Amino acid sequence: MIETLSQLFLRDLEKLKTEITSYKDEKSIWEISGDIKNSAGNLCLHLCGNLQHFIGAVLGNSGFVRNRDAEFSRIDVPILELVAEIQLTMKVVQKALAELKEDDLQKTYPINVLGYEMTTEFFLIHLTTHLNYHLGQINYHRRLIKTSE
């Protein structure tokens, strides 16, 4: 299961990198309009912060300190910096998951995030769905911004 989770996280973080680098320009990444309240850039920062915190810091003891507010307030971060953050996230996730043992998955996740106790396996699967939820939003945002010009 750990190998499967690692493959899924790395696959989808690679897709995140592809989405971010597929924008026609850096300005488009930060556009919001109407009911779209989060830019692709902010969602990218959010995903990287989320995974570096919940996998890297909590499970892998990476020392990462999350600033969730900045994930949504920073703007105009260059594409190269976003890509570097994605690549760092990939390394952090891969390292933390490689250090887990299969029986660790059945242990209670160290912090109560969702309001109830859950296994580490459950929470890691939750994190893959969270990543994909926002990845879909970014994909839709990119296509919507492109067509609205």
pLDDT at residue 147, rounded to an integer = 58
What confidence score (pLDDT) does residue 35 get? 83
Residues 58 and 127: their CA atoms lie apart, in Å, by 13
Kindly give the parts of the chain with pLDDT less than 50: none
Q: In whole angstroms, what is the distance from residue 107 CA to residue 60 CA?
A: 15
Question: Rounded distance, CA 66 to CA 9, Å?
Answer: 19
> What pTM, to 2 d.p., does this model score?
0.94
Check which CATH number belongs to the domain holding 44 and give it. Answer: 1.20.120.450
- Give the model's pLDDT for residue 148: 54
Query: What residue numbers bound the domain in which 72 lies?
Result: 2-147
Q: What is the pLDDT of residues 114-129, one digit of tens each?
A: 999 999 999 999 999 9
For the chain, what is the domain count? Answer: 1
